[in-house]
């Protein structure tokens, strides 16, 4: 059973709180309802778009035509050291369950918003680890049939996967974890959440880190000579460092502000627009390119 609503504010379903209205909207929790929503759109020849938690998106000011489907919620189960979760289950819930069962492998992702499906598609990670390390296989739907695909077929990379680019819809994720000490894992999780809480304060209107960090091995030697080697962490050049070097901290454009404490964070001060976001992103991308010879790539997804 799916419930279609009309003229829903996009800003209300995004952590960035930006966007006009979507012509049609439905929120589903199960893979079956998700598939039914897409089939309904196809049967009625209505264009559709899909999103999950709304934590890593920039919706357009002019709104969206057609149907916007939100896959958010669902169920999960634990089998020994394996967790199988519907794609719409919040990542935080999956991590909490893993900690409860003393399963190691997701604790460094603590505090990352969004769903387990969205995290898998974008290969979310933090502190030197990514969710792809735990993904055993992913159930997808290609518009005709459901099937499971193994980790290697997903072609995971830094904040990347083939799932981003193939005409496939993620339905469920199977995570294979390792046994660990429950108290130690819970302690590690609390520490990471505390660190993230200082950067992403409760209620802040933002999509998380805006640009991807830069993989050091993928840039030339001439570029590396311009980089402070002491800033490189886990083989990555922090984009926050690059942006700070070009004066990003404290910048404002329209309703967007970059706080003084982090150069890679775009904050909506109340009346920001997608146009503000794109304009400021373009300015900063050009500055970093001019100073370091590096072209930044957004981690957020524009609709």
Q: What is the pTM of this model?
A: 0.91
> Residue 248 is encoded by which pair of tokens?
């990003």
Residue 95: name the closest of 120, 112, 72 by CA. 112
Which pLDDT belongs to residue 200? 80
Cβ burial of 150 (10 Å; 0-12, 13-18, 19+) is exposed
pLDDT score of 195? 87
pLDDT of residue 236: 92
pLDDT in tens, 139-187: 999 999 999 999 999 999 999 999 999 999 999 999 999 999 999 999 9
Catalytic annotation, residues: 159, 209, 299
Give residue 73's pLDDT: 93
In 51-113, where does DSSP find H-type helix? 91-100
In sequence order, the 6+-apart residues with CB closer than 8 A to the CB of 132 are 120, 123, 125, 151, 154, 156, 161
Complete domains list, the chain, with CATH: 5-71 (3.30.43.10), 76-185 (3.30.465.10), 201-302 (3.90.78.10)
Q: Which residues of the chain have pLDDT under 50?
A: none
Q: Which residues pair with 112 in a beta bridge?
A: none
- Phi, psi at 181, each rounded to 5°: -85, 115
């Amino acid at each position: 059973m799916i419930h279609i609503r009309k003229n829903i504010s996009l800003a209300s379903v995004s952590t960035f709180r930006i966007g006009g209205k979507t012509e049609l909207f439905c929120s589903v929790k199960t893979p079956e309802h998700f598939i039914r929503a897409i089939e309904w759109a196809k049967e009625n020849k209505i264009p559709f778009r899909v999103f999950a938690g709304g934590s890593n998106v920039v919706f357009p000011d002019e709104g969206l035509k057609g149907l916007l489907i939100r896959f958010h919620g669902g169920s999960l189960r634990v089998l020994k050291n394996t967790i199988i979760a519907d794609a719409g289950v919040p990542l935080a819930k999956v991590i909490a369950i893993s900690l409860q069962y003393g399963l190691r492998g997701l604790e460094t992702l603590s505090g990352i918003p969004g769903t387990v499906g969205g995290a898998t598609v974008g290969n979310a990670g933090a502190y030197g680890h990514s969710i792809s390390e735990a993904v055993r296989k992913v159930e997808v739907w290609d518009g005709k049939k459901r099937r499971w695909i193994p980790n290697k077929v997903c072609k995971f990379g830094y904040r990347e996967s083939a799932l981003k680019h193939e005409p496939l819809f993620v339905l469920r994720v199977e995570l294979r974890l390792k046994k660990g000490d429950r108290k130690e894992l819970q302690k590690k999780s609390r520490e990471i959440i505390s660190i993230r809480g200082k950067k992403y304060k409760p209620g802040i209107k933002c999509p998380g880190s805006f640009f991807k960090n830069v993989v050091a091995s993928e840039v030339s030697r001439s570029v590396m000579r311009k980089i402070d080697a002491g800033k490189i962490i886990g083989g990555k050049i922090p984009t926050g460092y690059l942006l700070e070097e070009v004066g990003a901290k404290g910048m404002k454009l329209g309703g967007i502000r970059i706080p003084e404490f982090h150069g890679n964070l775009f904050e909506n001060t109340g009346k920001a627009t997608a146009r503000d976001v794109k304009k400021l992103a373009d300015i900063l991308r050009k500055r970093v390119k001019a100073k370091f010879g590096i072209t930044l790539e957004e981690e957020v997804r524009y609709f």
